Amino acid sequence: MKKLSPILFLAFLLIIASCNQYKNNYQLSEKSIYSESGNLHLLDSLLNDLYKEDKINGTVLVLKNNHPVFEKSYGYATADKSKQLTKEYQFIIGSIYKEFPAVAIMQLEEKKLLQLQNPISQYISNLPEWANSITIEHLLQYTSGLPTINWNQLFQNNGNPTEKEVYEHIQKIDHLEFQPGTNYLYTNCSPLLLIKIVEKITNKKFEKYLNDNILKPNHINGITLKDQFPYKNPSLMAMPFNYEYVPDSFKLSIKNLLFVSKAKSLGDWFYKLDRYKIISEKSYKVLAKKFKAEDDFQAPLGNVIYDTKGNLIEHTHHGSSGNYECLGRHFIQDELTIIILTNQKKRNLYELSNLIKEVLK
């Protein structure tokens, strides 16, 4: 789990102290929030205060056993403040999108349509020599040795990168950063190549595979892929902007990077995935495994925690893209899921989620 800096840790302690003061003021009982509404009222009061202090602009969702017990939006959907956010708005989910091609790969592995230990050259033929030494498992674990994508180059001169341009960029990589399987480097090359493998094996565009085999069969609505940013149709899309309410100005036309979701939809995803309704427990454990246990390494599913007996206790994943920032946390033993989607990056979502969990004890 992400460690707090000393300053943020002190701030969190102050928030908890404030939380306890609220509890005293409201004279709340220690009973569960699911039988008493007091703690939910307290949570709303705290989040309203944090919104007034410019600490949040987005949607907060809390689920108990996948049933919403709290869902509220705070702030604006647009930089000009003409539209208020509601729970119906979608947000880009950033790096959390990487879970979807990873899950698709495991579905195909379960059907014996691929093997994780096979080199990716077996599935994609137009890559350099390094494709013979990189396996699907290396892509999943971010241990391929492929470098990060040079977005500065792709965005230069007001560029609008397309899927074709990014793939050509990957094809031009002439050397690896390290021998595959010996180190870790977090790069968008990995999920984009996994998507190519899924498309090659299934002869379907990834969006169609996602809808036909993952979202629709599991009744997960409200997760979609956008063709481009800025959006052709911005209706019910939370638009990103900075602290000065200046809208994001980048351009991007890579559908497989533009995953958007409503809060409830992402909550459904976490719950059903963590309950092995989408892939088997065996496949899930493959995607939960990190290259190394350190906090700064990510598994394909972000950060998954087991107790000493091997019981799944938490699945957490953070994502950001421009001024979008989001966080999903599923505390399995508590049947508690917290989803925070924002369109004005505050870099405080772990602290907010810790506060929410503390209030809802």
Does the structure show a pLDDT above 90 at 20? Answer: no
**How far is it, in rounded angstroms, from Cα 166 to Cα 284?**
29
Flag whether pLDDT at 71 surpasses 60.
yes
Does one domain contain both 177 and 285? Answer: yes
Residues 280 and 219 both lie in one domain: yes
pLDDT at 110 over 70: yes
Domain count, the chain: 2
Give the pLDDT score at 334: 95
CA distances from 259 to 159, 222, 228, 302 (A): 20, 10, 10, 16
Same domain, 325 and 252: yes
User: For residue 219, is pLDDT > 60?
Assistant: yes
Return the pLDDT at 293.
87
pLDDT for 7: 41
Q: Report how far apart, in Å, the C-alpha atoms of 164 and of each of 167, 196, 271, 291, 313 are.
A: 5, 12, 34, 30, 40
- pLDDT tens digit string along 294-307? 878 999 999 999 99
Q: Based on the fold, state whether residues 353 and 341 are members of the same structural domain.
A: no
- Nearby residues of 73 by Cβ (< 8 Å), 6 or more positions away: 58, 59, 60, 84, 85, 86, 87, 89
Share of the chain above pLDDT 90, in %: 87
Q: Same domain, yes or no, for 141 and 274?
A: yes
Residue 106 shares a structural domain with residue 240:
yes
Q: What is the pLDDT of residue 13?
A: 52
Shared domain for 34 and 160, answered yes or no, is no
What CATH number should be reported for the domain holding residue 211?
Answer: 3.40.710.10
State the average pLDDT over residues 59-69: 96
Q: Is the pLDDT of residue 15 over 70?
A: no
**What is the average pLDDT across 170-177?**
97
Beta strands in the chain (DSSP E): 58-64, 67-74, 91-92, 223-225, 259-261, 303-306, 312-321, 324-331, 336-342
Helix (H, G, I), strand (E, B) or coil at 305: strand
Provide the domain limits for residue 278. 57-345
Question: Which pLDDT score is estimated for 324?
Answer: 98
Tokens representing residue 69 in the block = 């017990």
Task: Give the containing element (helix H, strand E) for 26.
Answer: helix 6-26
Task: Indicate whether 8 pLDDT > 50.
Answer: no
**Rounded mean pLDDT of 148-174?**
94
Same domain, 98 and 71: yes
End-to-end alpha carbon distance in the chain = 19
Would you place residue 326 in the very low, low, confident or very high pLDDT band (cuts 50, 70, 90)? very high
**What's the mean per-residue pLDDT of the chain?**
91
143 and 253, same domain (yes or no): yes
Res. 35: pLDDT tops 80: no
The SS3 assignment for 135 reads strand
